Structure 1
Amino acid sequence: MCRCFAADLDWDAIAEQFSVDKDEVDSAELPQPSYNITPKQTIGIVAQGRDGRRHLADAYWSLIPAWSQSKELAYPTYNARVESACTKPTFAESAKSMRAIIPASGYYEFHGRKPYYFHAPDNATLYLAGLFSWWRGEQQSAWLLTSTILTCQAVDGPATVHNRMPLLVPHNLTDAWLDRSIDGASLMPDMQNNGTELSRNLAYHEVAAFNASDDGRRLIRPLAQIDVPSLF
């Protein structure tokens, strides 16, 4: 499960990493740095268009399938289980050929009410596996790019905090994951195995509880390092 993550990223560097045409990247239109990104907010995603070119764009974090008549579904769609994404009607079309990578600085999982922050040991950018879909409510309305984060069964350290975790995309599978000509069903087994292995090496620590309106780098500060005011 992933319902909150951090993204303080250099979008130009992300574009270069994924061979996105820099002329198409407008950093001002992409999300500003945040350490408290939650569902239904705007996130940045990397995806391949029908033209075969890669794009870095902003998206609504909660996937809305093209056939939905409403922007508000009866169930949450900010996460999709990798085990069932290829068969669930909401996600099947996207899992087949509309896959994305969601760059993140790190993400939070909750053990009860206690938040923990997960990140790469060297603080490198994490590539979260995602799906995307285009949606519009009415014929004359503008198309809205929407997205979800895939989750898998948690293992090792992450499993001590929560039973689910975001699925990570290994660097050697990014090309295949973004390639729309490859059926997602054939990729899922390797993605699960390799993505799970990556998660075994993540660093994590407990952080102080925070509210929906809170933001800033202080949110990821280890709880053990937060000063306790003296009474004397």
Structure 2
Amino acid sequence: MSLGLLPDVPPGLPGVPVASDAAALAAGCDLVLGHREGALSLWHPGGPETPLFVDFAGGRTGYRVAADRVRHEKLVRAMGTLPENGVVIDATAGLGRDAAVLAAAGWQVLLLERQPVLHAMLSDGLRRAGALTQRMRLVNADSVDWLTSHPVAAQAVYLDPMFPEREKSAAVKKDLAWLQQLSPIEETAGEALLLEAALTAACKRVVVKRPLRAPLLPGRKPSHQLAGKTVRFDVYVTG
């Protein structure tokens, strides 16, 4: 995968410097990173798709984090009765959408993201996130390494490892396809290590988001599950 970097992106990111969309197409870039309407965004050069960026306040995420909505989220219910301002680690932060829900529910959220482009997009999203930033902290780190070096670091750890998407929504396919180009799906052995590291770092529970009919992460059966129409949450009680 070749990524074109426009001149206005943060320094040090992996990719090919380009001056424009046309230059990115000429260079054979699959995606372009640059600023669109004040947000660090990812898009297909010359394509019709809407650029992808981290947005904690608008769209679907804005609806989910609304005060009258957030407590109804299945993710929040899966976390159970964690203490107010308790620490939750989102070890697979991605675009940060679920992390925003956890923060809006009243917990302190540590976002772990190792992929440098996603980390830069998250950092840019936090810059524009308003009050939510008081309960969100971003760390550029490999999750397995970080979790194993910080044993019992949080009340809960949240995992949403990427899984091949079968839904027909064009928006879902675009988001997933572009994220997978940046950060490929983890092998089974890597998923097992991630779950083991999460269980080490969570003093109360680990919550894993999976497509409804996807297999369990290898290594241990969950204590219980909370299922919705298309996804489920596997809950591993640790204490």
TM over 0.5: no
> Which structure has greater helix proportion?
2
TM-score (norm 1): 0.25
> Which structure has greater strand proportion?
1
Relative contact order, higher structure (CA 8 A, sep 6+): 1
